[in-house]
Structure 1
Amino acid sequence: MEKVNVTCRLNADDIVFLDKLATLTERDRSYLIKKAVSEFIALQKWQIEEVEAALVEAEGGEFVTAREVKSAFQELQK
């Protein structure tokens, strides 16, 4: 996969902590930033996939009705 340089501005306090974390983990700042971005993207992809799957279920009538949810909660409260 082609790599592209990206520039962003970060809070100075975050950079100080990032450098401390880099020292403690024996990694460099770039590694930690790449890992954080990669994990953020993975989470966002997962959330989008889950929402899209839920929308397909809803459009297909696979969700329970409000009445069924209310009934289930009433049963749990007994």
Structure 2
Amino acid sequence: MSKTSVITARVDTDTLALVDRIAAAQGRSRSWFAAEAVRRMAEEEAAFLAFVQAGIDSADRGELIPQEEVFAHLRARRMKRHAA
């Protein structure tokens, strides 16, 4: 196993009770649950930041769609959905 570090977070009593209930139901410790939650959130945020950066990079390369074209596409989709 890789080296670990300790972090501290304050949570309200309702959140702590929920964490304890879920951890117990899964046969896990509070510590495992917290570490897993932090890992998942960090991965989601990293993926989101990469997605945003990809958009920025595309814009920097001039790969843009004019606003009028986007609105026309959305109007067409809305009309198709309402026609069904």
TM-score range, shorter chain: 0.7 to 0.9
TM-score computed with the length of structure 2 as normaliser: 0.82
Counterpart residue number, 1:52: 53
- Partner amino acid, structure 1, of 2:60: E
**What whole-Å deviation, never above 9, does each CA across 1:8-42 have from its counterpart, x for those lacking one?**
21111111111111111101100100000000000
Number of residue-to-residue matches in the alignment: 78
Q: Does 1:40 align with 2:41?
A: yes
Output the CA distance in 2 between the equivalents of 1:8 and 1:70: 44
Output the CA distance in 2 between the equivalents of 1:35 and 1:74: 42
- Partner amino acid, structure 2, of 1:2: K
Output the CA distance in 2 between the equivalents of 1:40 and 1:26: 21
**Unmatched 5+ stretches in structure 1:** none
Output the CA distance in 1 between the equivalents of 2:17 and 2:72: 53
Q: Does 1:67 align with 2:60?
A: no
Shift of 1:75: 3.4
Output the CA distance in 1 between the equivalents of 2:68 and 2:53: 24
Counterpart residue number, 2:25: 24
Output the CA distance in 2 between the equivalents of 1:70 and 1:6: 46
TM-score computed with the length of structure 1 as normaliser: 0.87
Output the CA distance in 2 between the equivalents of 1:42 and 1:16: 25
**Unmatched 5+ stretches in structure 2:** none
For the aligned residues, what is the CA RMSD? 1.5
Q: Does 1:14 align with 2:15?
A: yes
